[in-house]
Structure 1
Amino acid sequence: MTTDTVPTIGFFVPSGVGIGYTGPGVFLKRLIGPLRGVVNPRVYAGERPGHQTDPSLVPVRSMRVGDSGPLRQLAWALTATWWIIVDHRRLDVVHFHGTYLYKILPALACAAFRIPYVLVPLAAGADFSLRGRSTRIPGISQLVRFIGRRAAGGFALGEEIAEELRQGGVPAEHVHLIMNPVSASFFQETAADRFDKQTLIFVGVIGKRKRPLLVLEILARLREQDPTRRAIFLGPFASPSDRTAFTSAVSELGLDEAIDHIEFSDDVSGYMRNSSSIFVLLSETEGIPGALVEAMAAGLPSVVSDAGAMRDIVTESNAGFVVPADGDIAADAVSRLLADESDWHDHSSRAREHAERHFRAESIAEKYFAQLRAAMNADPVSISE
């Protein structure tokens, strides 16, 4: 491939690219946006009920998906493999967005057609991890290493994921750290009275992995000190059972009038810049959560769990606290930030300064493309090698 050729990148996204706040779709949109004209993106995506497709990421091929499960994973794997067989002459490189077990078959198809592919796991401890539940199935860890060795590269949202890629067979020199890109809207002017609002914000899919019920417990504790304190939950439910568990907990804790839930929104930045005081995310596993870096760009102090790269980011920036999954300890950390306006502003300024240096979408996209170009120019490895 010559350097003046516009490469065609196939982005495979089983979780979908809906308009509502979904981390993988938002990440991809901000990565592709600055590269328009530099690359020719072809999106292969899932379609989820209730998720309107983003006009800037209209899939060239798509399939209806729902809650995850073995049969749906198999359906996606077979469908994605068929797309690669049909379109292989059009693709210069394939980007597997979120590296799950159902990427094994399409990755093998890429190897068969000698199409370079890169692996982009979005959370540590997930299916690409050799310590994961799925990789303990006989033969699966061998397949993970097989596609890892043949990958042209791996992009990691944090050092923990980078190590999993290396353990999964991706050559160390082809593993690259990548930040979660933040669009310019999050860096715009913020409301002057955000501290006074005394409002927590949780952004992400409301499901067990993100521990939203723990955030509800923290809010209940905080309201014992100040009954005006509130929380915004912005994101869809992971499943009907998660919706039931969340609404039940809200009722049991007496928080019906203290919660604003927005399931889908095109303007996450407005809530962060104007309506909230503290960002809270206490996930079990993460990579580099887009919501965290967005919150920092908006100047929000953060209280997070020690998952993925969150500890390193919050500690390095000194823009909040890293806490265990303990309601009392986490509530105390939030309370400290909400008790002292001067201290809150110090954390806010450090958060924004760190985001300015590390998370602007344009600079991240430029580095990503340079590393992807190097991967495309490397000799692809076939199945037989």
Structure 2
Amino acid sequence: MDGHTGSHSTDISSSAYVPPVSKSAAAPQTETGLKKVLHLINGEHYSGAERVQDLLGLRLPEFGYHADFACVKPGKFATSRRAQDCQVFELAMRHRFDLWRSRDVVRLVQEHGYKIIHAHTPRTALLAMLAARSCDAQFVYHVHSPTSRDSTRRFTNWVNQQVESWAMFQAARLITVSNSLSRHLASLHVPAEKVRVVHNGVPPLEEVPAREASQGTWTVGCVALFRPRKGIEVLLQALANLRSAGHDVRLRAVGPFETPEYEREIMALVAKLDLQAAIDWVGFTQDVNAELFQMDLFVLPSLFGEGLPMVVLEAMAAGVPVIASDVEGACEAIQSGVDGLLAIPADADDLTQKISSVVSGQVDWLSLRQAALLRQREAFSDRSMASGTAAVYDELLG
């Protein structure tokens, strides 16, 4: 399948089920005594939600669980993941309603002894719901962002919301990554007794380079899968405003574009604003920390549709002060004025002012950095995320 290599993966992408490779041949050994969980994921990208899944694969054994993964849109996850002790199955769906794949999920559960099917997207939730009806496994659904505001494609959002709502009412437990998402589920009349909040988390870094505020050029960074709801247009306008006001700033943009068409739109805007020489387009990278260490400020100008952005937590862990749009879970990670700043969504002038306040020294960069490092380690670690997830599993399995 496209984008997949490696011996720890099994391809069951044809209509007929192909048994997994034997453990003695290629599959990783599972520690005895660990209960097994099958995570159903999309898998075509390696972005925020995929980092959550990967970190759970790494950390859950500490709390008594072993995770494997089945990708319904095989791609970068299989080759980019760090959790190499987790088996990855390719279970490619031909379309979002390719429900026959639920039979393959059932077979995986029966052959490998998974106790929980943990889905992470609307299409995988549908498969998990159907599979759980036919096997002895509990269905858990992880809500990473508000599906009704996931993209600018209203009909697609509506379809995904209907599918997700149907599946959510069948799930034994729902995990949301922020309190704002729990309130969103409440507005959809999802029973509160099913919902558990488990904040996203990232590993605290053992070594964070000592730094001072920039005395020359300020590098403003952004890491994202660039698509319309990420609001890169707002950041580009703010960058142009700052440079016109005499601030020595440039942008380091890390990550791929969702589509070639959107990339062309953004490059046309860059040319219109005369910013070609002020931007470094890095593209996709697996070493996000190395990129963060090259930034003085991290900016996430999302317009809507966030849960609790992993990249915000990664920037905090790297000691890079964050300026993020005041949307959904971002405001749960950042205490504005203490360990970062919050900007009005879709307001380039307000974002310009927020960045300028740090660059000009009006807001102390070093204080933001030190507070961000402390807050991430205390409240948003990968260990706390895995512990919270395992606690949900414990509720179901006793």
Q: How would you bin the TM-score normalised by the shorter chain?
A: 0.7 to 0.9
Identity across the alignment (%): 20
1:298 to partner: Cα distance: 2.0
Instruction: Provide the C-alpha distance between the structure 2 equivalents of 1:240 and 1:95, rounded to a whole number of angstroms.
Output: 32
- Is the contact made by 2:323 and 2:343 (CA closer than 8 Å) also made in structure 1? yes
Letter in 1 for 2:138: P
1:33 to partner: Cα distance: 1.1
Q: Give the counterpart of 1:278 among 297, 301, 324.
A: 297
- Correspondences of 1:330-369 after superposition (within 5 Å): 330-340=351-361, 343-369=364-390
Q: 1:280 to 1:127 in 2, by over 3 A?
A: closer
Instruction: Provide the C-alpha distance between the structure 2 equivalents of 1:115 and 1:166, rounded to a whole number of angstroms.
Output: 26
- Is the contact made by 1:124 and 1:287 (CA closer than 8 Å) also made in structure 2? yes
- Is the contact made by 2:306 and 2:328 (CA closer than 8 Å) also made in structure 1? yes
Q: Give the counterpart of 2:65 among 34, 39, 42.
A: 39
1:290 to partner: Cα distance: 0.3
Greater length-normalized contact order (CA 8 Å, ≥ 6 residues apart) = 1
Q: Which residue of 1 aligns with 2:23?
A: none
Indicate the larger mover: 210-219 or 30-39: 30-39
Instruction: Provide the C-alpha distance between the structure 2 equivalents of 1:299 and 1:245, rounded to a whole number of angstroms.
Output: 32
- Is the contact made by 1:157 and 1:179 (CA closer than 8 Å) also made in structure 2? yes
Q: 1:181 to 1:136 in 2, by over 3 A?
A: closer
- Is the contact made by 1:74 and 1:102 (CA closer than 8 Å) also made in structure 2? no
- Correspondences of 1:12-51 after superposition (within 5 Å): 12-16=40-44, 18=46, 22-36=47-61, 38-45=64-71, 46-48=73-75
- Is the contact made by 2:299 and 2:323 (CA closer than 8 Å) also made in structure 1? yes
Letter in 2 for 1:41: A
1:288 to partner: Cα distance: 0.2
Normalization by structure 1: what TM-score? 0.83
- Is the contact made by 1:145 and 1:169 (CA closer than 8 Å) also made in structure 2? no
Aligned CA RMSD, in angstroms, stands at 3.0
Instruction: Provide the C-alpha distance between the structure 1 equivalents of 2:185 and 2:376, rounded to a whole number of angstroms.
Output: 26
Letter in 1 for 2:198: I
- Correspondences of 1:55-134 after superposition (within 5 Å): 56-57=83-84, 59-63=87-91, 72-75=95-98, 77-79=99-101, 81-89=102-110, 90-97=113-120, 99-101=121-123, 103-126=125-148, 133=155
Instruction: Provide the C-alpha distance between the structure 2 equivalents of 1:195 and 1:113, rounded to a whole number of angstroms.
Output: 62
Instruction: Provide the C-alpha distance between the structure 2 equivalents of 1:50 and 1:103, rounded to a whole number of angstroms.
Output: 18
Instruction: Provide the C-alpha distance between the structure 2 equivalents of 1:196 and 1:31, rounded to a whole number of angstroms.
Output: 40
Letter in 1 for 2:95: R
Q: Give the counterpart of 1:320 among 314, 319, 341.
A: 341
* Deviations 1:315-373, CA, capped at 9 Å, x for gaps: 36552123231111111111111110761112222212211211121222122212222
Give unmatched runs, 5+ long, in structure 1.
Answer: 66-70, 378-385
Instruction: Provide the C-alpha distance between the structure 1 equivalents of 2:387 and 2:77, rounded to a whole number of angstroms.
Output: 33
Letter in 1 for 2:66: N
Instruction: Determine which structure has the larger helix proportion and give its number.
Output: 1
- Is the contact made by 1:296 and 1:352 (CA closer than 8 Å) also made in structure 2? yes
Normalization by structure 2: what TM-score? 0.80
Equivalent residue pairs, number: 358
- Is the contact made by 2:54 and 2:82 (CA closer than 8 Å) also made in structure 1? no
Letter in 2 for 1:91: Y
1:119 to partner: Cα distance: 0.9
Letter in 1 for 2:130: L
